[in-house]
């Protein structure tokens, strides 16, 4: 079994494109097959610098290793079928085009862009289906010879039969049939000498012995044309499976307004690769009617074409965030800490910790911070905002927040001062831990005729600068004695003005 993922490096690797790569990869791994990456770079005008590298980076991030294809070092490749860049396979395509011309299955078309545009507009006005009108299909031999000898610019078109029908036996959609007369003579070689997708994909799939083609549903209408090409060459076609579309929650085609961006943008936003893999696998496939969280080994074990749906898949970013949070909580603290570090150490203007926090961070301290925020994270990129107070030396206080309901500024000052006196001796005998801190402070509330909510609320704002924070005493343990005592002094100073 041999499958291929054949991206065109004309932009960022978007979610639907990489979902196609994932399904091919899972199908190959499930069946001990070969996963091929082939770069379809024949559309020279639309090539984007760096796009190929971004595509390969997305595959590597997700752990979608390939058996044949680019190695990432320029245009070097691994595999036994020549270059896996279509732009380097032009002689192969040209020889096959000449073969089709000689056999009468293709012809040179000399129609100018202006003529083709006029034909298109006329078809629109007459409410006819769009398509080439066959003007050059049966040019007289003498005229064809004259144009060839004159070196007139041309394309090469494939001669579609004008009668009969072509049926696609699709592994997802069963049988789908098209009348040949409606297909139109498609271009297979452009005037710049580069093949179109139609020809290049067929030739490469044949010569690379691709057994199954899993691709997006948008290619389904092109498949009868491809089958006719296989027939013209006398080749056995691969088996086809067209994957369902991905729609937004509003059932419109997925776009940036639905939160769908480059897969690498999800990486940079703090999604874990295993969460992304799990989420994408469920965009058009399911293990059963109830399982949502599926590990990578389970996906590789159970993936099958029979479970791919025909109906469009719905992209739900809230579900993705929930799933990512699940995968974050499943990590050990020791595993999560290093994953948070790059997000914490980003420049402040890029969403990292405030500029006054010294970099690089102490890795041991970061590991102590992890348990405080682990259960609150949905994205790794949320960590800087949630933990900034744990790394800053000084906090900016809003004095009003230090005064809890039912308290006065004077009683808040007294409570913070008494708390500092109660806490000062603790570290001398090694008892600056959450249980000892609570044991020391809980009785103080009654002594000051305050509720624990009032006292602990004032303390929380004093040591964190905010009203919502991780558990108070665990936070104080991580902050340490000196920092906590200093912050109590700073909070009192803020109240006194």
pLDDT digits (tens, 9 = 90+) for 1-18: 999 999 999 999 999 999
- Give the residue among 216, 163, 219, 173 at the shortest CA–CA distance from 196: 219
- How do strand 155-158 and strand 187-189 relate by DSSP bridges? antiparallel
pLDDT at 64 over 70: yes
Same-domain pairing of 214 and 271: no
Q: Annotated catalytic residue: which of 78, 256, 310, 319?
A: 256
Query: Does residue 319 lie in a domain region?
Result: no
Same-domain pairing of 113 and 250: no
Query: Does residue 325 lie in a domain region?
Result: no
Picking from 314, 348, 364, the residue at the C-terminal end of a domain is: 314
Note the pTM of the prediction, 2 decimals. Answer: 0.92
Return the pLDDT at 478.
97
Residue 395 and residue 465 in contact, taking contact as beta carbons nearer than 8 Å: yes
Residue 335 and residue 328 in contact, taking contact as beta carbons nearer than 8 Å: no
Query: Does residue 159 lie in a domain region?
Result: yes
Query: Does residue 320 lie in a domain region?
Result: no
- Give the residue among 222, 239, 178, 217 at the shortest CA–CA distance from 308: 217
Same-domain pairing of 404 and 489: yes
- Residue range 414-426: mean pLDDT, rounded: 95
Per-residue pLDDT band for 252 (boundaries 50, 70, 90) equals confident
pLDDT of 197-219, one tens digit each?
Answer: 999 999 999 999 999 999 999 99
Same-domain pairing of 208 and 258: no
Same-domain pairing of 202 and 100: yes
Residues in the chain: 497
pLDDT at 234 over 90: yes
* Rounded Cα–Cα distance for residues 133 and 128 (Å): 11
Residue 124 and residue 103 in contact, taking contact as beta carbons nearer than 8 Å: no
Detail the DSSP E strand segments found in 39-182: 69-70, 77-78, 106-109, 155-158, 165-170, 174-179
pLDDT of 181-197, one tens digit each?
Answer: 999 999 999 999 999 99
Rounded percentage of the chain residues whose pLDDT exceeds 90: 91
Number of domains the chain contains: 4
* Rounded Cα–Cα distance for residues 275 and 299 (Å): 12
Q: 449 catalytic, yes or no? A: no
Return the pLDDT at 74.
78
Picking from 210, 243, 276, the residue at the C-terminal end of a domain is: 243
Query: Does residue 324 lie in a domain region?
Result: no
The CATH number of the domain where 123 resides is what?
3.40.50.620
Same-domain pairing of 13 and 50: yes
Same-domain pairing of 213 and 250: no
Same-domain pairing of 81 and 49: yes
Q: Which residues contact 45 (CB under 8 A, 6 or more apart)?
A: none
Same-domain pairing of 296 and 409: no
- Residue range 258-275: mean pLDDT, rounded: 89
Per-residue pLDDT band for 249 (boundaries 50, 70, 90) equals confident
pLDDT of 116-127, one tens digit each?
Answer: 999 999 999 998
Per-residue pLDDT band for 428 (boundaries 50, 70, 90) equals low
pLDDT of 352-396, one tens digit each?
Answer: 999 999 999 999 999 999 999 999 999 999 999 999 999 999 999
Return the pLDDT at 19.
97
Return the pLDDT at 250.
85
> Which residue segment(s) compose the domain that 405 sits in?
399-496
Query: Does residue 378 lie in a domain region?
Result: yes
Picking from 281, 314, 347, the residue at the C-terminal end of a domain is: 314
pLDDT at 429 over 70: no
- Residue range 273-301: mean pLDDT, rounded: 96
pLDDT of 35-60, one tens digit each?
Answer: 999 999 998 889 999 999 999 999 99
Query: Does residue 138 lie in a domain region?
Result: yes
Return the pLDDT at 129.
85
* Rounded Cα–Cα distance for residues 82 and 59 (Å): 22
Same-domain pairing of 192 and 147: yes
Residue 317 and residue 259 in contact, taking contact as beta carbons nearer than 8 Å: yes
- Give the residue among 59, 241, 229, 99 at the shortest CA–CA distance from 158: 229
Same-domain pairing of 380 and 439: no
Q: Which of 257-271, 288-302, 406-420 has the lowest mean pLDDT?
A: 257-271
What tokens appear for 16 in the block?
Answer: 């639907």
* Rounded Cα–Cα distance for residues 350 and 333 (Å): 25
Same-domain pairing of 39 and 58: yes
- Give the residue among 325, 327, 322, 367 at the shortest CA–CA distance from 344: 367
């Amino acid at each position: 079994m041999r499958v291929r993922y054949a991206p065109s490096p004309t932009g960022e690797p978007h979610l639907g494109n990489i979902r196609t790569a994932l399904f091919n990869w899972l199908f190959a791994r499930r069946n001990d097959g070969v996963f091929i990456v082939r770069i379809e770079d024949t559309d020279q005008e639309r090539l984007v610098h760096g796009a190929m590298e971004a595509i390969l980076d997305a595959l590597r991030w997700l752990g979608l290793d390939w058996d044949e294809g680019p190695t990432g070092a320029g245009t070097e490749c691994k595999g036994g079928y020549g270059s896996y860049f279509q732009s380097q396979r032009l002689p192969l395509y040209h020889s096959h085009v000449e073969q089709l011309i000689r056999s009468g299955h293709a012809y040179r078309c000399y129609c100018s862009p202006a003529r083709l545009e006029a034909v298109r507009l006329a078809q629109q006005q007459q409410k006819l289906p769009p398509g080439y009108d066959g003007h050059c299909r049966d040019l007289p031999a003498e005229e064809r010879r004259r144009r060839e000898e004159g070196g007139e610019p041309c394309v090469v078109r494939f001669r579609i039969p004008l009668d009969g029908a072509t049926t696609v036996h699709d592994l997802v959609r069963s049988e789908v049939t098209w009348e040949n007369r409606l297909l139109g003579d498609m271009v297979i070689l452009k005037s710049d000498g580069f093949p179109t997708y139609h020809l290049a994909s067929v030739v490469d799939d044949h010569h690379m012995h691709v057994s199954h083609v899993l691709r997006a549903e948008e290619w389904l209408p092109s498949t009868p044309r491809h089958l006719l090409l296989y027939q013209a060459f006398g080749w056995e076609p691969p088996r086809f499976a067209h994957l369902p579309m991905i729609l937004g929650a509003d059932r419109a085609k997925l776009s940036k307004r639905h939160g769908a961006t480059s897969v690498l943008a999800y990486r940079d936003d703090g999604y874990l690769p295993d969460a992304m893999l799990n989420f994408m696998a469920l965009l058009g496939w399911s293990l059963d009617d109830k399982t949502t969280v599926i590990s990578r080994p389970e996906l590789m074990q159970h993936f099958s074409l029979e479970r791919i749906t025909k109906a469009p898949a719905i992209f739900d970013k809230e579900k993705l965030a929930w799933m990512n949070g699940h995968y974050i909580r499943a990590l050990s603290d020791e595993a999560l800490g290093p994953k948070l570090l790059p997000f914490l150490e980003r420049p402040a203007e890029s969403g990292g910790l405030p500029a006054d926090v010294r970099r690089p961070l102490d890795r041991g301290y970061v590991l102590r911070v992890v348990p405080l925020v682990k259960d609150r994270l949905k994205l790794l990129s949320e960590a800087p905002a949630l933990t900034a107070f744990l790394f800053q030396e000084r906090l900016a206080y809003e004095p009003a927040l230090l005064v809890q309901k039912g308290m006065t500024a004077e009683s808040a000052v007294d409570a913070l001062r008494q708390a500092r006196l109660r806490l000062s001796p603790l570290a001398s005998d090694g008892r600056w831990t959450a249980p000892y801190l609570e044991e020391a402070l809980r009785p103080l509330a009654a002594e000051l005729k305050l509720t624990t909510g009032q006292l602990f609320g004032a303390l929380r704002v004093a040591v964190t600068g905010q009203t919502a924070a991780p558990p108070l005493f665990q936070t104080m343990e991580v902050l340490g004695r000196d920092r906590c005592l200093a912050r109590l002094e700073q909070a009192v100073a803020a109240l006194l003005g």
